[in-house]
Amino acid sequence: MNKVYLLFAVAGVLLGQQSWAAEVTKKPSSCVENLNQEITPQMKRARDLYIALTGSPIPFCDERIERMTIYLAAGRARDAVRVAIADPDFYNIKIREMASRICTFENSPRTSVNDCIATYVGAIRDGIDARQLLTGNFWYRIDEKKAPQATASNLVNNILKNGNHYNQIDDLELSMFHVLKRVDGQMIIDPTNNNNAIAAQDPAGVITSRAWMMAHAIAGTNRRLVEKSFEQFLCSPIREWADNTMPDTYVGRDVTRTPGDDPNKYLVTCKGCHAPMDSMRSVFAHVDWNENNGGFYRYNPTQVTPKMNRNTNETPQLTYLISGDTFDNYATQGANAARFGWRGPTQGEGMKAFAGMLANSEQYNRCLTTHVFRTVCGRKPEAELKQIIDTYARDFDQKDNHDVRVLFERIALRPECTGDGNQ
């Protein structure tokens, strides 16, 4: 008899896995509204919260709204929002939207899925400490067992050299919530053999993703990588942390010291941005974007990318050249100290150290909180709401284990977000 039970149990597990494995797209609601049932305030609030967290309007008769209504009526608001956060659309729609703004050059949600977006979605789904989004050595891809129809899965030809693998998410209408799997150990194209992949030697979360590098390491002088790191991960456009009181020790020789024959213009304007930005630019000394074969991120630790030391004839009187990937953060004095709340070393070597400096700052937490607010409330937080952002960021850092989903729970329930603004 015990063997029979065991057999049924195994069959149940296998069948369950099979039906779960097949469920990689979300089915819409199909219930019929009961017009005789009055819409109560809790029902309306439940639906508003669900839509704020998933972007999907569903009918009041849907069992998710019914469950959320019961929780709200019982005063268990956090349990109510967790029903929405457990929904695939929270990840497929809302987290994707938030990640799209961070992972693209245009800061726009109008983009296909890429490896950076997939890593955000997968990591948040799995409750990973948000700091690892910058410091971690992992990435996310489609699990072929859960989506066998996603055949563009070759590491070199479909993932590292183009976006074909991730384009399948939209092309095949796959649910990222269901199909993404974590892969430990980032991979890059071998700098000595473009047809080979090797383990990344300086991994830094989404900063060393193909999508991020494609957005910011193309051409130029790799300054954009620093500028955009501060803009996206610390919500700090460069005009806000420009500081012309810092020495121009690391300002590149391609920056003329007499723009328009006016040295004062350099000292007052140009130096303000370049002094702090260039002090960290060398982090990306070994990085470039190769536009051949679909385009891939190239990292060669044995050489400094030529663009790092270009146009030195602008300042022949100077001798500074970038020779390695050490950095010395010059955005640490005066107002910048309070703005960023640096904790830990602000000097170091390599992208992982740079990413760690960003991820451990207080501003990283405030910036993530701001991104969450914008995603769930549909607007940037007003200046009057600074106390909410600061307090929630502090709790996120000290009490909520850097779990981004907790930020969504708390912010969605704010009257300033889904309520009437306390009018």
Partner 1 sequence: MKLKNKNKKVFKMLVAVVGASFTITAFQNCGGSNDGSNNAALDYVEQGETPVSPIKVEKTDKILHSRNVANALIQGLGVQNVSNVNNLDPIIQAAINSELLLSEHGDYDSITGGQITIHAGNLAEVACERMIFYSEAPKLSVVENEIKDERRFFKGLYIGENAASATPQVPVQDETKYRQAIQRLARSLWGRDTTKAEEDLVLSAASPILLDTKANRGFRAAVVTCTVMASTFDFLRQ
**What is the spatial distance between Cα 168 and Cα 188, in angstroms, rounded to a whole number?**
21
Smallest CA-to-CA distance from 333 within 344, 346, 348 is with 346
Residues 98-117 that bind partner 1 (CB under 8 A): 108-110
**Residue 165 near residue 159 (C-beta atoms within 8 A):** yes
Pick 134 or 406: Cβ nearer partner 1: 406
| The one among 23, 291, 328, 382 contacting partner 1 by CB under 8 A | 382
Residue 26: burial class (beta carbons within 10 Å; 0-12, 13-18, 19+): middle
Quote the least distance from Cβ 92 to partner 1, whole Å: 8
User: Is residue 388 close enough to count as binding partner 1 by CB under 8 A?
Assistant: yes
Largest Cα–Cα separation, the chain: 94
Pick 213 or 388: Cβ nearer partner 1: 388
Region near partner 1 per CB under 8 A, out of 122-130, 142-150, 231-239, 385-393: 385-393
Quote the least distance from Cβ 228 to partner 1, whole Å: 18
Quote the least distance from Cβ 211 to partner 1, whole Å: 18
**What is the spatial distance between Cα 280 and Cα 276, in angstroms, rounded to a whole number?**
7
Quote the least distance from Cβ 178 to partner 1, whole Å: 16
Region near partner 1 per CB under 8 A, out of 26-34, 229-237, 274-282, 288-296: 26-34
SS (H, E, C) 42-75: HHHHHHHHHHHHHCCCCCCCCHHHHHHHHHHHCC
SS (H, E, C) 3-27: HHHHHHHHHHHHHHHHHHHHCCCCC
Pick 48 or 349: Cβ nearer partner 1: 48
Pick 261 or 384: Cβ nearer partner 1: 384
**What is the spatial distance between Cα 56 and Cα 83, in angstroms, rounded to a whole number?**
13
Pick 3 or 27: Cβ nearer partner 1: 27
Residues 58-97 that bind partner 1 (CB under 8 A): 58-60, 77-78, 89, 93, 97
Pick 113 or 351: Cβ nearer partner 1: 113
User: Is residue 124 close enough to count as binding partner 1 by CB under 8 A?
Assistant: no
Q: Which two tokens stand for residue 153?
A: 């899965």
Torsion 63-69-71-77 (CA) sign? positive
User: Is residue 44 close enough to count as binding partner 1 by CB under 8 A?
Assistant: yes
User: Is residue 413 close enough to count as binding partner 1 by CB under 8 A?
Assistant: yes
Size of the site for partner 1 (CB under 8 A): 52
User: Is residue 422 close enough to count as binding partner 1 by CB under 8 A?
Assistant: yes
Smallest CA-to-CA distance from 335 within 240, 248, 271, 267 is with 240
Pick 229 or 369: Cβ nearer partner 1: 369
User: Is residue 410 close enough to count as binding partner 1 by CB under 8 A?
Assistant: yes
Residue ranges of the alpha helices (H) in 172-222?
A: 176-179, 210-216
Q: Output Rg (C-alpha) for the chain, integer angstroms.
A: 24
Return the ∠ at Cα 63 (arms to 60 and 47), rounded to 5°: 40
Q: What residue ranges bind partner 1 (CB under 8 A)?
A: 27-33, 35, 39, 44, 47-48, 51, 55-60, 77-78, 89, 93, 97, 108-110, 170, 173, 377-379, 382, 384-385, 387-388, 391-392, 394-395, 399-400, 410, 413-416, 420-423
